Structure formats: C-alpha cells, structure tokens
C-alpha cells in the first residue's frame, strides 16, 4: 500500500489550492484558510508532474472550458459520506439543490442535517461540488472555504456557455 501523498499547489481565482493524490487518484483539494485543512506529514512529496492532468482539469474549470471533471477520486470517509459525495457529483454544473433534496436523492429524506455534515467533510472541494448545495430557502449556507468563495464558484458556473 502506497503511504506517500503526492501534492502540488495551484493558483486560482479563489486563492491558492492544495491538491493531493495517492499516485492514482485525487484524495484532496483544499483552499487556504478553509475550515477543514489538510494534515501534511513527512510522507508528503511535492510532485507537479504526477498531478499534471488534475492541474490541467482544474485550470480548464477556472477558465470556463470544463464543466465535468474526469479525474479518478479516492476520498476517505464513512459509507454514508461516500454516498453523499457521489450524489454531489451528480449535481449538474451551474445548478444548485438544497440539503433536503440531496437527502432525498440518496434515499434518506429525513437526513438533511446528516447530509449537511457529510457535505462539510468533503475533502475534494470543487471537483466534488459541495458548493452547489444551498439552503431550502435559496440562501447560501455554510461552506468550508468561506461564503465568498462559494458565491464566486456559483457565479462562475452560472455564466453559461463554454468558451
């Protein structure tokens, strides 16, 4: 089992991003000063070349050329969190849903609070689009990267056509 975490940093319109990988799949995407930060250890190794495709897709997303990521993902979480994160990936680019709707989509209509907690634990922000989940009344609710970043991401995706 590979215990080395490869990483790189990426400049973006919402600040520097930290991207992590196990060598095959993306394991994390973190923003500066977000609530849930990466825990770097001595087993981490900077490897921009190994993360070239991931960097390219993120850069294409930020320039408006990419709407759907094709990256292999390997987020660590409970089975419930995994279900929520998979469902997040089914929310189309430029659309939003409520926590209640997300709970319904995973077959647990009374679990909107638990869905919200799982959403907040998503370690692969942007690629697993937790920013697309909003309050039942349409309000922007919590976001680990901050509401300004959530607002920016939603505005970016609402611009419409691809370049």
Measured between alpha carbons, how far is 140 from 162 in angstroms, rounded to an integer? 25
Helix orientation angle between 112-120 and 79-88, rounded to the nearest 10 degrees: 80
- The DSSP bridge pattern shows strands 97-98 and 17-21 to be unpaired
Measured between alpha carbons, how far is 118 from 97 in angstroms, rounded to an integer? 15
Measured between alpha carbons, how far is 47 from 161 in angstroms, rounded to an integer? 33
Residue tagged active-site, from 6, 71, 130, 133: 130
Say whether 130 is catalytic: yes
Q: Which two tokens stand for residue 95?
A: 């659309």
- The catalytic residues are 130
């Amino acid at each position: 089992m590979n215990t080395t975490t490869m990483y790189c940093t990426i400049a973006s319109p919402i600040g520097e991003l930290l991207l992590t990988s196990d060598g095959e799949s993306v394991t994390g995407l973190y923003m500066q000063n977000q609530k849930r930060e990466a825990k770097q250890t001595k087993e981490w190794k900077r490897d921009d070349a190994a993360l070239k495709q991931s960097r390219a897709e993120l850069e294409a997303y930020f320039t408006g050329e990419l709407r759907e990521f094709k990256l292999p993902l390997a987020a660590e979480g409970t089975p419930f969190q995994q279900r929520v994160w998979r469902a997040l990936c089914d929310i189309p680019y430029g659309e939003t849903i409520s926590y209640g709707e997300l709970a319904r989509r995973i077959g647990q209509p009374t679990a909107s609070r638990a869905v919200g907690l799982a959403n907040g634990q998503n370690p692969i922000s942007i690629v697993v689009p937790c920013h697309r989940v909003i309050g039942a009344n349409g309000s922007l609710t919590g976001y680990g990267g901050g509401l300004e970043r959530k607002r920016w991401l939603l505005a970016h995706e609402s611009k419409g056509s691809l370049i």
